[in-house]
Amino acid sequence: MTSFLTHRARVHDARFPLHRRHSALRTCLTVFAPYGLRATYHHLTLSAAIPRRLEADPDALARAVEELHEARVLWLVRADEYTAQRRAEKQAGRRAVPNPRPWWLQSWWESPDRAWFEDPFRHPSLRLSEYVRRQNAILDGADPPAARLVGMRDHEC
């Protein structure tokens, strides 16, 4: 398993050629991609304004990996809380996984937000950290807000 933090550091390391830094960003996405790999990558290309020619804006890769990292930190905190909760439930004899399962454990066909699995150019317009906060709030019992999906087919990325 690759280390997200190792590859995050490679994205920031200007000694690496741009194509290697870009590859490191994609490796980060294999570790954490809240919308799925393709939709999360598309989201980051738009939010960080990653140009087709990386030489035009090399800092875009750093902006993208930092947005991804910010969301991942929020997710890790929640995942650790869930792990402790499940451990306590199992010790108390409750072995069945609660339904619905946490958003990060759901398969694409279980997810109510599966539009981006079917079309990776359609995903929430939120920053990734806001999406993670929203999903965590829903997990806590909050009513899901109306998520506005952005259709980005016409956008040049």
Measured at the CA of 60, the angle between CA 150 and CA 118, to 5 degrees, comes to: 30
Beta carbons within 8 Å of 86's beta carbon, 6+ residues apart: 97
pLDDT tens per residue across span 76-120: 998 888 888 888 988 989 888 776 667 666 665 455 555 555 566
Please, what sign has the CA dihedral across residues 103, 25, 154, 133?
positive
> Which amino acid would we find at residue 84?
A
List all residues 6 or more positions away from 136 whose beta carbon is below 8 Å from its beta carbon: 74, 78, 103
Report the C-alpha gap between 37 and 143 in whole angstroms.
Answer: 27
Distance CA 21, CA 8 (A): 9
Reply yes or no on whether the pLDDT at 127 is more than 50.
Answer: yes
- The model's pLDDT over 14-28, given as tens digits with 9 standing for 90+, comes to 999 999 999 999 999
CB 45 within 8 A of CB 157: yes
Q: Report domain extents, the chain.
A: 4-151
Q: What is the pLDDT of residue 70?
A: 96
Cα Rg of the chain, angstroms: 17
Cβ atoms within 10 Å, residue 60:
19
Instruction: Work out the pLDDT band at 152, boundaries 50, 70, 90.
Output: very low
Residue 40, pLDDT > 80, answer yes
